[in-house]
Amino acid sequence: MSEIIQIKNVSKSYWRNSLEIPVLHNITLGVEEGEFLALMGPSGSGKTTLLNLIAGIDRPSRGELSVAGTDIAKLGESALAKWRSSNVGFVFQFYNLLPVLTAYENVELPLLLTKLSKSEKKKHVEAALNIVGLGDRMKHYPKQLSGGQEQRVAIARAIVTDPVILVADEPTGDLDKNSAQEILTLMERLNKEFKKTIVMVTHDQHAAERASRLLHLDKGDLSANGKG
C-alpha cells in the first residue's frame, strides 16, 4: 500500500519572545493508506504538535510534509483551509461541538462549505449519525447528550465529508471506561470497515493497543514501539 502521509526531516519550534522552544526534531515518518496509527508519549513530547502538522492546522519550521498527495507546508491559509475541509476529519478530546447547534446541525457544519443540495446534505448527515449510532438523537443539543454521545457526534462530524484521514487527539481522554471502549470500537470500525486512515494521539495504553501501529514520541524524537 502507498504512504498517504509522508513526513521527511520535519522539525517544529515555537518562539516565546526571542526564545526558541524546539518541539519536534527531524521527524521522518510514513503512514500508509488505511493504517491506524497511535502516537503515545508524555505531556510536552510533541505528539499533539505532530498531529496538528499532519492535519494542516500548524506548519512545520523545517522539513517536508505531504498528506494525501499534497505538500501542505506550501499551501496558503485559504488553500489549506479548503484542503482540510475535504481531506481531514478531526476528533478532539473535549468534542468541541457548538453548544447552540443540535447534533444534526453540528454534523452538518462541514457540509456548509460544500455545494451539496439540501437533500444530499441531509442524506450525508443522517448516514454519519447512523454510523455512530445516534440516528435517534439528531435533534438533541450537546448538553442533552452524555460525554460518549457527544464524542460520537464529533466523530460523525469528522466523517460526514468522507475525508481521506481522521486525526484524533485524545479521543477518549474525557470519557469513562465504557464510553471510551465504545469510541475505540467505533474508530476501529471506521478503520477496518470504511478504510479510513487514522492517526490518534493518546495517553491511554489500552486505546493505543487498538491501533495497528504504535509510535512513541519523547522530547520531540520519534521511536517505534510494540506493534508495527
Rounded Cα distance between 30 and 128, Å, is 29
Residues 168-227 that bind other proteins (CB under 8 A): none
Other residues' Cβ atoms within 10 Å of the Cβ of residue 108: 23
Return the residue matching grid coordinates 485524545.
170
Of the candidate residues 11, 61, 70, 85, the single one contacting other proteins (CB under 8 A):
85
Rounded Cα distance between 212 and 226, Å, is 10
Other residues' Cβ atoms within 10 Å of the Cβ of residue 39: 25
Give the range of 52-60, 64-72, 132-140, 195-203 binding other proteins by CB under 8 A: 52-60
Q: Using the Cα atoms of residue 128, residue 132, residue 134 and residue 139 in order, give the sign of their dihedral.
A: negative
Of the candidate residues 74, 81, 177, 209, the single one contacting other proteins (CB under 8 A):
81
> Are the CB atoms for 33 and 2 separated by under 8 Å?
yes
Helix (H/G/I), strand (E/B), else coil: 149: helix
Of the candidate residues 32, 92, 212, 227, the single one contacting other proteins (CB under 8 A):
92
Q: Whole-number minimum distance, CB 218 to other proteins, in Å?
A: 21
Binding of other proteins at residue 78 (CB under 8 A)?
Answer: yes
Q: Whole-number minimum distance, CB 93 to other proteins, in Å?
A: 10
Q: Whole-number minimum distance, CB 1 to other proteins, in Å?
A: 27
What's the CA angle centered on 90, arms 207 and 132, to 5 degrees?
70
Number of residues located near other proteins, criterion CB under 8 A: 25
> Are the CB atoms for 7 and 51 separated by under 8 Å?
no
Binding of other proteins at residue 11 (CB under 8 A)?
Answer: no
Residues 95-134 that bind other proteins (CB under 8 A): 96, 98-101, 105, 108-110, 112-113
Binding of other proteins at residue 68 (CB under 8 A)?
Answer: no
Binding region for other proteins (CB under 8 A): 52, 55, 57-58, 77-78, 81-82, 84-86, 90, 92, 96, 98-101, 105, 108-110, 112-113, 157
